[in-house]
């Protein structure tokens, strides 16, 4: 008598979570140092000292004020700080009314999708894509339409999007820097995308929202990350401090409904409604205040950059094929056989935990998370070598 869909989602946890759980058990069995766990995107860089100082200082405030409810959209001062930051940094006229603090980007995405779709609509995702997108699209009773990224650069494939956007399309979810590929969409690519959307809106007499999932915005290796609302006004940004400030478990981020869209107020009102509908009351308040104080804190990208160099150099020398990542902390590596799951299973025998690409909506690849210790990457190289030799022999 339980809900079948919910039972199914609970019974089949995501491939990432499953491999992560396997890794925990395996480490307990044979020792942490003997498992090369590339499964999960849990930041390996510590949260900045400023975040700790913020918590310690805030804990001196009167507890009733500190821990009390805020309005559903967040504390007014925090929304103002976030809006000021967006305005200062990206040159868009961000107002605090258009900022809605969320329990991370996941909440932001689930809320945004439900806010701008009606049941039966279509939401486009770019494959490979973060698997939970499909779950939240299903929750909104919409169809998830997978459009492959352009190969080999994994930019948006404008022609494929042209073919996919139709009379039921309500939104396109994009994610740059990208999980799992590490691609960053160029200004030129986004410009072409915006031109397509403008044409499609006119042709279809329909609004098409871009939901821009941006938890990796700060994790880049030199590439420019254009601000999507500057390119396409009908953009909803879902931001998270999970990666930039290494606070993934604290669940803090925001939705910014671009002031530049002609229906900005309607969309932010629907966002507030969707938050209620999905059971959110307010974003965790202590960390609302932490991000207020840490809004200009730089992300520590150096150790991810070092890991990236180490891994790409090592796997390149061993003959692996991969996408050179411009951002995020994932390496997208070609599996050594067509069946990614089978390849992941064979890697497991070498204690290498690599997420098969199937759950990202494409076959034939694995995702290698390099937000781990440098030593693990170094010590994993013989295992990667043995795996390659196994396939070559």
Pick out residues in 292-351 that bind a second copy (CB under 8 A).
Answer: none
203 near a second copy, rule: CB under 8 A? no
CB closer to a second copy, 74 vs 226 = 74
* One-character DSSP codes across 213-281: E-TTTT-BSS-----HHHH-SSEEEEEESTTTSS-GGG--EEEEE-TTSTTHHHHHHHHHHHHHHTT--
The residue from 115, 181, 210, 211 that contacts a second copy (CB under 8 A) is: 115
Q: How far is the CB of 167 from a second copy (least distance, A)?
A: 12
The residue from 172, 181, 210, 271 that contacts a second copy (CB under 8 A) is: 271
Q: Which of 180, 203, 223 is nearest to 360 (CA)?
A: 180
CB closer to a second copy, 14 vs 341 = 14
DSSP at 350: T
Tell me the β-bridge partners of 257: 236
For a second copy (CB under 8 A), the number of binding residues is 85
The residue from 183, 272, 333, 353 that contacts a second copy (CB under 8 A) is: 272
255 near a second copy, rule: CB under 8 A? no
109 near a second copy, rule: CB under 8 A? yes
CB closer to a second copy, 76 vs 316 = 76
146 near a second copy, rule: CB under 8 A? no
179 near a second copy, rule: CB under 8 A? no
The residue from 78, 165, 237, 282 that contacts a second copy (CB under 8 A) is: 282
353 near a second copy, rule: CB under 8 A? no
Q: How far is the CB of 369 from a second copy (least distance, A)?
A: 12
The residue from 18, 84, 97, 132 that contacts a second copy (CB under 8 A) is: 132
Q: How far is the CB of 194 from a second copy (least distance, A)?
A: 18
Measured CA to CA, the distance from residue 228 to residue 322 in angstroms comes to 27
CB closer to a second copy, 198 vs 339 = 198
- Cβ neighbours around 4 below 10 Å, total: 8
2 near a second copy, rule: CB under 8 A? yes
Among positions 88-107, residues that touch a second copy (CB under 8 A) are: 103-104, 106-107
Among positions 21-40, residues that touch a second copy (CB under 8 A) are: 21, 40
Q: How far is the CB of 83 from a second copy (least distance, A)?
A: 18
Q: Would you say 372 and 44 are in contact if contact means Cβ atoms under 8 Å apart?
A: yes
187 near a second copy, rule: CB under 8 A? no
Measured CA to CA, the distance from residue 266 to residue 116 in angstroms comes to 10
238 near a second copy, rule: CB under 8 A? no
Q: How far is the CB of 334 from a second copy (least distance, A)?
A: 28
C-alpha angle 101/251/229, rounded to 5°? 45
The residue from 122, 213, 250, 292 that contacts a second copy (CB under 8 A) is: 250
Helix axes 76-90, 285-293, angle to 10 degrees: 40
Measured CA to CA, the distance from residue 272 to residue 297 in angstroms comes to 28
The residue from 99, 237, 270, 333 that contacts a second copy (CB under 8 A) is: 270
Measured CA to CA, the distance from residue 238 to residue 353 in angstroms comes to 29
Q: Which of 221, 233, 232, 151 is nearest to 184 (CA)?
A: 221
Measured CA to CA, the distance from residue 324 to residue 220 in angstroms comes to 12
CB closer to a second copy, 6 vs 302 = 6
The contacts of residue 158 (CB under 8 Å, 6+ apart) are 150, 189, 192, 193, 196
204 near a second copy, rule: CB under 8 A? no
CB closer to a second copy, 43 vs 233 = 43
278 near a second copy, rule: CB under 8 A? yes
> DSSP H helical segments within the chain, as ranges?
4-11, 15-30, 49-58, 63-67, 76-90, 104-115, 132-139, 158-164, 187-204, 228-231, 264-277, 285-293, 302-317, 340-348, 374-392
CB closer to a second copy, 283 vs 323 = 283
Stretch that binds a second copy, among 179-187, 279-287, 303-311, 377-385 (CB under 8 A): 279-287
């Amino acid at each position: 008598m339980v809900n079948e869909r919910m039972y199914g989602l609970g019974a089949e946890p995501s491939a990432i979570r499953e491999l992560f759980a396997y890794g925990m058990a395996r480490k307990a069995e044979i020792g942490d140092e003997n498992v090369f766990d590339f499964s999960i995107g849990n930041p390996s860089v510590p949260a900045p000292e400023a975040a700790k100082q913020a918590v310690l200082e805030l804990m001196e405030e009167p507890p009733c004020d500190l821990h009390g409810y805020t309005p559903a959209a967040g504390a007014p001062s925090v929304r103002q700080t976030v809006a000021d930051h967006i305005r200062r940094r990206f040159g868009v006229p961000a107002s605090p009314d258009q900022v809605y603090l969320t329990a991370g980007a996941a909440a932001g995405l689930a809320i945004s999708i439900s806010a701008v779709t009606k049941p039966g609509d279509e939401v486009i995702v770019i494959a490979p894509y973060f698997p939970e997108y499909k779950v939240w699209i299903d929750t909104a009773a919409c169809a998830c339409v997978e459009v492959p990224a352009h190969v080999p650069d994994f930019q948006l494939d404008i022609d494929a999007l042209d073919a996919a956007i139709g009379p039921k399309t309500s939104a396109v979810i994009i994610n740059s820097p990208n999980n799992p590929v590490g691609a960053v969409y160029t200004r030129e690519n986004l410009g072409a995308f915006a031109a397509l959307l403008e044409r499609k809106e006119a042709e279809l007499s329909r609004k098409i929202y871009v939901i821009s999932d941006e938890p990796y915005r700060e994790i880049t290796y030199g590439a420019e990350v254009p601000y999507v609302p500057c390119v396409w006004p009908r953009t909803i940004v879902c931001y998270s401090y999970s990666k930039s400030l290494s606070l993934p478990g604290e669940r803090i981020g925001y939705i910014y409904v671009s002031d530049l869209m002609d229906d900005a107020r309607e969309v932010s009102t629907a966002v507030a409604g969707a938050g209620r509908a999905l059971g959110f009351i307010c974003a965790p308040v202590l960390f609302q205040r932490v991000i207020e104080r840490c809004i200009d804190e730089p992300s520590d990208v150096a150790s991810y950059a070092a890991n990236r160099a180490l891994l790409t150099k090592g796997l390149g020398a061993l003959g692996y094929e991969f996408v050179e990542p411009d951002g995020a902390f994932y390496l997208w590596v070609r599996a050594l056989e067509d069946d990614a799951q089978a390849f992941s299973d064979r890697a497991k025998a070498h204690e290498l935990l690599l997420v098969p690409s199937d759950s990202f909506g494409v076959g034939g690849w694995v995702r290698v998370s390099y937000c781990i210790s440098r030593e693990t990457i170094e010590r994993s190289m013989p295992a990667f070598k043995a795996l390659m030799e196994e396939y070559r022999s």
